[in-house]
Every structure is written in structure tokens, then in C-alpha cells.
Amino acid sequence: MAEQQLKAEQLEKKRAEKRADDAEEEVVRATRMQKESQDAAKQLQIQKQQVESEAIKAVRLAKSQISQAHEDVNELQQQVRQARAGLIQANAAKTAAEELVTRKEAEQAAEAQSLIDRTMLAAEQKTEETQQLTDALR
């Protein structure tokens, strides 16, 4: 009986050692999994920070591009206003030039008419003088 008890104790000891070994392996496995989980959590945190950083950069870039677009639009609007003002000035200058040409043409026509009238008057006077001389000679 003592021999059986000894075998039973040895068997119980082996079982306890096996459970202890299994428990140690489980602790090692759990520790490794915990480390892997912590590493994965760190990686996720790093990725999250990178994504946030990229999102912030993208927002800043978009704001910058929007600001530049607003500046470009304002510049183009200013150019359009200047072009319209230039067009108005050009039309005014054209109208003034046309009026000046019309006045000059009218003045030239009046001068030409005056010259024609003087020439006709002089021709009539010459004709009358010639007629009078002719009448006087007869």
C-alpha cells in the first residue's frame, strides 16, 4: 500500500509539474500575446497620428488652395473691371474722334463751299467786267 501511495504521490507530482509547466507556457503565451497586443496598439496609435497629421495637412492645403483661388478670382474680377473701363474709354475716344472727324469734314466742306462761292463770285464779277468791257467797246 505504501508503494501505491508513493506511486500516486509521484503521479500527482508529475501532474502538478505538468500543470505548472502548462501554466508557465500559458503565462509565456499570454505575455507574448500581451506584448503583441501592445505593439499592435502602438502601431495603431502611430497610424492614427499619421492619418490625423495627413488629414490636417490636407485641410491646410485645401484652405491654401481655396485662398489662392479666391485671390485669383479677385484678380480676374479686377482685370475684367479694368478691361471694361478701358473699353468704355476706348468707346468714348472713338466717339470723340468720330465727332472730331465729322466737325473737321463739316469745316472742310464749309471752307470748300466758301471757296467755291468766292470763286463763283469772282467768276461772275469777271464775267460782268468782261461784259461791260465788251459792251463798252461796241
Q: Check pLDDT > 90 for residue 87.
A: yes
pLDDT in tens, 104-134: 999 999 999 999 999 999 999 999 888 888 8
Alpha helices (H) in the chain, listed in sequence order: 2-137
Please compute the mean of the pLDDT values over residues 28-49 and round it to a whole number: 96
Q: Where are the domains of the chain?
A: 1-36, 72-138
Can you read off the three cell numbers belonging to residue 120?
463763283
Please compute the mean of the pLDDT values over residues 47-61 and round it to a whole number: 97
Please compute the mean of the pLDDT values over residues 64-93 and round it to a whole number: 97
Q: How high is the pLDDT of residue 137?
A: 78
Can you read off the three cell numbers belonging to residue 128?
460782268
- Distance between first and last Cα of the chain: 197
Q: Check pLDDT > 90 for residue 6.
A: no
Can you read off the three cell numbers belonging to residue 122?
469772282
CA distance linking residue 80 with residue 87, whole number of Å: 10
Q: Check pLDDT > 80 for residue 15.
A: yes
- The rounded percent of the chain whose pLDDT value lies above 90 is 79
